Amino acid sequence: MKGRRVVVVVAVALVGLACGSPAAGGGSRDLHDGWLLPPDLLRPWLAPARPGRESGPWLALGQARLYGMPELPLRGLAAGWRAPRWRAALAWQRLGADLLGEERARGQFLVGGRQALGVAAGWDALRLADAPAGRRPVFNLELRLAGPAGTVLAGSLPLLPAPDWYGRGGARRWWSVAAAAGEAAWCLALDRDARGAPLLEGEGALRVAEGCGLGLRWEPATGALGLTTAWLRGGLLLRSSHLAHPALGVTHRWSLGVGRGELWP
């Protein structure tokens, strides 16, 4: 029992370090935080000769270990449908194992084509050992706007405060702008911590071969930097992220998707 308590204390301390200060862990707590480039932009860029369908179902799943710790596995699953005049998605994610569990669930619905507006709603929950889970509702205003020169502007505007356990950090997605042209693709994002302070992040990638891209993911506020990869084969999009935090270590993320795909809600 004592060993179990030690594991709980260590895991909680590391998660607290990761989310308690923007300079400590930033937004690296989420599975999809390993990438910024949206899949619906990435797919036609990786294979311009066969861009695929604009509408239809999509599915994505992924896993990781936060900072390589076996006590902090990350697992996630998202699915959705994209139609010419609307799009919908459901997403689930869990951080931790038996003694520590942070869970999030989202449902998203947007109306519109190239210019879309909608909402995302769900909940975040934290469970420590046998204690009852703390649960907080989530409600966001969602925007997807197609801009000039192939740029895509995405906004996720929280209308409720962050969960208590986010502390002063706990970065949440806010605005992002992305584009892909020729051999290069890029995305700049503004996240916000629990206090509302903006955090700038970036990702850039080069298409090195048909269906293959290599990139860099950067979080200036945390000093985290890492390699991203993307392979598109037979309709399957495999992505990896290897983000190294200067104090906490490396988080390797993997994601496999099929269908046009969207930003995870």
Region 15-43: what's the mean pLDDT?
68
Task: Give the distance from CA 81 to its chain's centroid.
Answer: 18
Residue-range domains of the chain with CATH: 2-258 (2.40.160)
Amino acid at 65: R
| pLDDT attached to residue 235 | 87
| pLDDT attached to residue 100 | 80
CA dist 99 → 3, 39, 165 (Å) = 11, 33, 16
Q: What is the pLDDT of residues 35-89, one digit of tens each?
A: 999 998 999 999 987 766 778 999 999 999 988 888 889 999 999 999 999 999 9
Six token digits for residue 208? 């090195």
Band of pLDDT at residue 236, cut at 50, 70 and 90: very high
Band of pLDDT at residue 17, cut at 50, 70 and 90: very low
Rg (CA), the chain: 18
Q: What is the pLDDT of residues 171-200, one digit of tens each?
A: 788 999 999 999 999 999 998 877 778 889
| pLDDT attached to residue 211 | 94
CA dist 50 → 10, 207, 211 (Å) = 48, 15, 10
| pLDDT attached to residue 258 | 94
Residues 6 or more apart whose Cβ sits within 8 Å of residue 148: none
Residues 6 or more apart whose Cβ sits within 8 Å of residue 86: 109, 110, 111, 112, 116
- Tell me which of 3 and 232 has the higher pLDDT: 232
Residue 4 has φ and ψ, to the nearest 5°, of -65, -40
| pLDDT attached to residue 52 | 66
Residue listed under structure tokens 């995870």: 264
Cβ contact 11:235 at 8 Å: no
Number of continuous H segments (helices) and E segments (strands) in the chain: 2, 14
Band of pLDDT at residue 263, cut at 50, 70 and 90: confident
Amino acid at 12: V
Cα separation, 169 vs 162, whole angstroms: 10
Cα separation, 243 vs 219, whole angstroms: 9
Band of pLDDT at residue 12, cut at 50, 70 and 90: very low
Cα separation, 88 vs 119, whole angstroms: 10
Region 114-129: what's the mean pLDDT?
92
- Tell me which of 89 and 222 has the higher pLDDT: 89
pLDDT at 20 over 70: no
| pLDDT attached to residue 165 | 76
In the chain, % of residues over pLDDT 90 = 57
